[in-house]
A and B are shown apart, each in its own frame.
Chain A
Amino acid sequence: MMTQGMSLIVKNTAKLVTGFIAVFGIYIAMTGHLSPGGGFAGGVILAAAAVLVILAFGRRGAKGLITDAQCHAWDGAGALAFAVVALCGYFSGQFFVNFIPRGKVHDLASGGMIPLANLAILVKVGAGLAGAFLALAAFRRLGMGKVA
């Protein structure tokens, strides 16, 4: 339990890099309506940052940052947010109608509800995949009966 995770070099590199990876994932999702990318790709990049932390610091070591309960909660919150964005279409009559003014093309605030839906998918996919990785990391201890 003293030496959780990988070596000091890996831990320090992970500390340096994780933030940039997470920011890049959020950027990919936020500019999904302007350039290639989108909520799903951004979410997976965000999950990759979480996976890096979990691998470098071990399951216990990452507990301060990423826990099962948090992943479950954010997964559900993202799904709910996407459904809420869809339901907000009723403001202009129908389910999934783009209810926000479409704005100027190539602006960050364009495309109406599309950036909002992208952000919801970002949260959902990121938390969901990170949670799935945590669940699979726990599987190891069940199978081998040794320490993680």
Chain B
Amino acid sequence: MGVELFIVALIGFMLLAALIAVEARDLLSSVICVGAAGFALSVIDLLVGAPDLAITQVVVEVVALVLLIRMVVTRSDTSVTAPRDALRTGLVLLAGGVILAAAFFAVGGVQRAGTMPPFGEPVLAHAKGDKVPPGVSQQYLGDPDELDKVSAGTRTADDPNGLGAAYETGTANAVMAILLDYRAYDTLGEATIIFVSILGAYVILRPKGRIGPEEGLLGRKGSA
């Protein structure tokens, strides 16, 4: 219960930070608030038992924050002059919050048999004691009955079928086994997305334009 209260408090903090990020007149304040929201999200990841995601989130957050602050501080004028419609922004945020709350209760608030485990409780917690929910999670994490047979010595692990990621792939971290073995195609697609987007950034932000082979935009004397 204490963890859930903490998570709710962190979500409230994230909402506040997002609100300030939208409403702040100063671009630098907005960037910092976005960063605060991201760090709170990484803490939530850690609390619900997703350390892989938490590490990635915190690291991406640091680099993105440094990059955004670098971009913002460089600009001489960081203030927004046009007034913002506070009522409209508030309504949009309220609607988003209601949708998120509905999703929260649909996933974790209401207990139903055969749906997702309670909010904040990782699937791994079911591996011992309770039965693992059937389906792909049993394939990834192993059939508990079969795993008991292996630990009791009545079954060898030579044929790893039904024993889960540790025996099937030899990987202690089941998350990585899913990312790079069971669902390697997904990871290939994700890597392709990163590759293409960074390629796009190179093309759009390249320092030399197509004006001439010698004199790009940077090389021109009159542009400074």
> Could you tell me which A residues sit within 8 Å of B by CB distance?
28, 32-38, 40-41, 44-45, 47-48, 51, 55, 72, 75, 79, 82-83, 86, 96, 98, 101-107, 110-114, 117-118, 121, 124-125, 128-129, 131-133, 135-146
Contacts and interface: CB of A to CB of B under 8 A. Distances in A.
A118 B181 CA distance: 11
B195 A79 contact: yes
A14 to B, nearest CB: 13
Interface in B35-94: 51-52, 54-56, 59-60, 62-63, 66-67, 70-71, 74-76
A81 B19 CA distance: 43
A103 B169 CA distance: 8
A47 B60 CA distance: 10
Nearest to A48: B63
B207 A33 contact: no
B63 A38 contact: no
A142 B217 contact: yes
B173 interface: yes
Given A102-B160, A112-B170, 19 more contacts: A33-B172, A33-B180, A38-B52, A38-B173, A48-B59, A48-B66, A55-B66, A75-B195, A86-B188, A102-B169, A111-B169, A114-B177, A117-B187, A118-B176, A132-B201, A135-B201, A138-B205, A141-B207, A142-B217
A48 B62 CA distance: 8
B141 to A, nearest CB: 14
Contact of A41 (B56, B169, B177, B195): B56
A138 B75 CA distance: 13
Contacts of B67: 51, 133, 136
Contact of A105 (B166, B206, B224): B166
B171 interface: yes
Interface of B: 51-52, 54-56, 59-60, 62-63, 66-67, 70-71, 74-76, 160, 166-173, 175-177, 179-181, 184-185, 187-188, 191-192, 194-195, 198, 201-202, 205-207, 217-218, 223-224
Given A117-B180, A128-B195, A36 B175 contact: yes
B27 to A, nearest CB: 14
Nearest to B208: A138
Contact of B59 (A45, A128, A143): A45
* List of 7 A-B pairs having minimum Cβ-Cβ separation, nearest first: A102-B170, A36-B51, A111-B171, A135-B205, A138-B207, A128-B198, A110-B170
Contacts of B51: 36
The residue in B51, B63, B223 that gathers the most chain A C-beta atoms within 10 A of its C-beta is: B63
A41 B59 contact: yes
Contact of B70 (A55, A106, A128, A131): A55
Contact of A98 (B59, B166, B181, B207): B181
